[in-house]
């Protein structure tokens, strides 16, 4: 029987897993310039940090499908959802242990192998956590809970770079500007211990170990009955869209440190607040979309949709204040947030319209960054986070709409496309090595251009299948 209201006692421990995904993903952006200098890497080679981490999601999904096929039963259904989460956390903890020998012998290959194993654990956690987030409350607000989980994920991305930078370099006021490979292993060992503690906490939590068995989904009335998920063009085009969305999200952040070092002359330790701002921008957008997960009156909801982004921005300012960073350069960003709010209003809650408007805004932001210099370009590049914030759930919803009994299969293929972060980022690195880091952001422009095309194309595809987009809400979480 479906929960009539969100079980916050179950949702909160689950949310800690979403937090870890963001914490590690954003912290990788601090490792990239450190590894680049210590191991004397090219920009392309440094982006292998992102490749190792994000390709692990796809490899993990493939391993999951192979194991399930060999067992002739879904692996998670066999071991239970709670145990699946615990296993995923244990695998990630194992990956953090590899930082000890990697740091001791100074091996870049072993370092990225450690991140790969952490990512493998995260892939299993992704498969488990998304349906659980829906289960712990009414299905009607499941997408909003996933958006809220995404906001918690981005809280991790906001503070991750700051904490890792502090662990490596010390406080912002410290004179230390150099990082040793030895200093990298400590924060990740602490993170591994946190993985194990949360796994222990989950073991004794009230999270359900199994999900209610759903009846086989029938084909959606008005849609076409087809043999597999690959028979639906909205899914095929949507898989490319997810690949490129994750790609532009990751590549913009992971190449930003090199841009700020090469063009603005900033030290690695001084870049952390701006990486934090980029990922905080994702949090700002997702907190806005999470408002509807709460049972507020319509008038209050409208007000909170305006206030939520600035509340999230306040969190960013607070954590940077605690980290002893100068806040003065960031106040002007409040005007950039206003642009995101305007785009959100113009979208009118329609996912296809939101993908189109936010993708066009992302193109404008990147072009401003490419054709400007100084802090104006930095704020333009960080604002990409604002315009990426809501794209995952919108693309996800459009891609699986009308798949009927093939919905679960289609969802699995979409999650595999997270590997885009591990391919687009080094691709931008190659272009940066051959041209300039400033020009290399053209990669993101091309990614957004496809997303705008997808928004238009999928609207026509769904209309031909007799599917009305008016009642479509964003689903899925990343």
Residue 138 has a pLDDT of: 66
Helix axes 181-203 and 81-97, enclosed angle (nearest 10):
160
Angle at 394 between CA 392 and CA 396, to 5 degrees: 65
Count the Cβ atoms, other than its own, within 10 Å of residue 224. 13
pLDDT tens string 183-205: 888 888 989 999 999 899 888 88
Angle at 32 between CA 391 and CA 60, to 5 degrees: 55
Residue 306 has a pLDDT of: 86
Residue 114 has a pLDDT of: 94
Residues 6+ apart with CB under 8 A from 308: 287, 288, 290, 291
Q: DSSP letters along 250-303, please?
A: HHHHHHHHHHHHHHH---HHHHHHHHHHHHHHHHHHHHHHGGGGS---HHHHHH
Q: What does pLDDT average to in each consecutive run of 10 residues of the chain (478 residues)?
A: 61 83 84 87 90 90 86 81 91 94 91 94 83 66 67 82 80 56 84 91 79 46 62 93 95 92 85 90 84 64 84 92 90 94 85 94 97 94 94 84 74 84 92 94 98 96 80 50
pLDDT tens string 84-105: 899 999 999 999 999 999 988 9
Residue 73 has a pLDDT of: 77
Residue 3 has a pLDDT of: 53
Contact 441, 381 (CB under 8 A): yes
Contact 239, 476 (CB under 8 A): no
Whole-angstrom Cα distance, residue 437 to residue 455?
29
Contact 156, 20 (CB under 8 A): yes
**Secondary structure percentages of the chain, helix, strand, coil, to 5:** 80, 0, 20
Q: Where are the alpha helices (DSSP H) in 72-141?
A: 75-79, 81-97, 99-105, 108-135
- Closest by CA position to 21, among listed 152, 141, 181: 152
Q: Where are the alpha helices (DSSP H) in 297-441?
A: 298-322, 333-347, 351-370, 374-382, 384-388, 391-400, 407-416, 420-434
Through-space distance between the first and last CA atoms of the chain, rounded to whole angstroms: 26
Whole-angstrom Cα distance, residue 50 to residue 46?
8
Residues across the chain? 478
Residue 212 has a pLDDT of: 44
Whole-angstrom Cα distance, residue 275 to residue 30?
8
Residue 452 has a pLDDT of: 98
Contact 219, 405 (CB under 8 A): yes
Residue 215 has a pLDDT of: 39
Q: DSSP letters along 440-459, please?
A: GGHHHHHHHHHHHHHHHHHH
Q: Give me Rg for the CA atoms of the chain.
A: 21
pTM, rounded to two decimals: 0.79
Whole-angstrom Cα distance, residue 106 to residue 358?
42
Whole-angstrom Cα distance, residue 261 to residue 477?
33
Contact 308, 287 (CB under 8 A): yes
């Amino acid at each position: 029987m479906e929960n009539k209201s969100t079980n916050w006692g179950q949702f909160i421990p689950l949310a800690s897993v979403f937090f870890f995904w963001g914490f590690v993903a954003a912290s990788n952006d601090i490792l990239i310039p450190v590894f680049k200098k210590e191991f004397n890497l090219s920009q392309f080679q440094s982006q292998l940090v992102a490749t190792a981490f994000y390709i692990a999601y796809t490899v993990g999904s493939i391993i999951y499908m192979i194991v399930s096929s060999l067992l002739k039963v879904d692996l998670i259904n066999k071991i239970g959802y709670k145990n699946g989460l615990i296993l995923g956390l244990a695998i990630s903890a194992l990956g953090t242990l590899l930082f000890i020998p990697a740091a001791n012998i100074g091996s870049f290959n072993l370092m990225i192998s450690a991140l790969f194993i952490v990512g493998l654990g995260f892939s299993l956690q992704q498969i488990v956590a998304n349906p659980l987030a829906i289960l712990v409350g009414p299905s009607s607000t499941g997408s909003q809970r996933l958006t809220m989980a995404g906001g918690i994920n981005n809280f991790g991305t906001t503070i991750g770079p700051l904490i890792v930078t502090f662990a490596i370099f010390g406080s912002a006021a410290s004179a230390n500007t150099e990082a040793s490979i030895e200093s990298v292993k400590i924060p990740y060992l602490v993170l591994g211990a946190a993985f194990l503690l949360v796994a222990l906490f989950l073991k004794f939590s009230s999270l359900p170990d199994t999900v209610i068995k759903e009846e086989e989904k029938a084909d959606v009335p008005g849609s076409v009955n087809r043999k597999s998920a690959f028979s639906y063009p909205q899914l095929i085009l949507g898989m490319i869209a997810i690949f490129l969305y994750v790609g532009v999200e990751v590549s913009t952040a992971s190449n930003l440190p090199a841009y700020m070092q090469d063009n603005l002359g900033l030290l690695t330790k001084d870049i952390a607040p701006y990486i934090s701002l980029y990922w905080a921008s994702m949090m700002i957008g997702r907190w806005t979309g999470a408002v509807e997960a709460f049972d507020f009156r319509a008038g209050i909801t409208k007000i909170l949709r305006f206030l939520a982004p600035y509340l999230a921005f306040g969190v960013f300012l607070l954590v940077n204040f605690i980290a002893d960073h100068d806040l003065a350069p960031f106040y002007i960003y409040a005007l950039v947030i206003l642009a995101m709010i305007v785009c959100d209003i113009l979208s009118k809650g329609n996912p296809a319209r939101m993908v189109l408007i936010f993708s066009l805004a992302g193109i404008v932001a990147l072009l401003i960054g490419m054709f400007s210099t100084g802090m104006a370009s930095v704020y333009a590049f960080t604002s990409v986070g604002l315009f990426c914030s809501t794209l995952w759930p919108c693309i996800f919803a459009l891609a699986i709409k009308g798949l009927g009994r093939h919905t679960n299969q289609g969802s699995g293929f979409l999650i595999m496309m997270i590997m885009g972060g591990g391919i687009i980022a080094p691709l931008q690195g190659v272009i940066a090595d051959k041209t300039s880091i400033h020009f290399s952001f053209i990669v993101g422009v091309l990614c957004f251009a496809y997303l705008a095309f997808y928004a238009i194309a999928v609207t026509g595809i769904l209309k031909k299948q007799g599917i009305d987009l008016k009642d479509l809400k964003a689903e899925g979480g990343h």
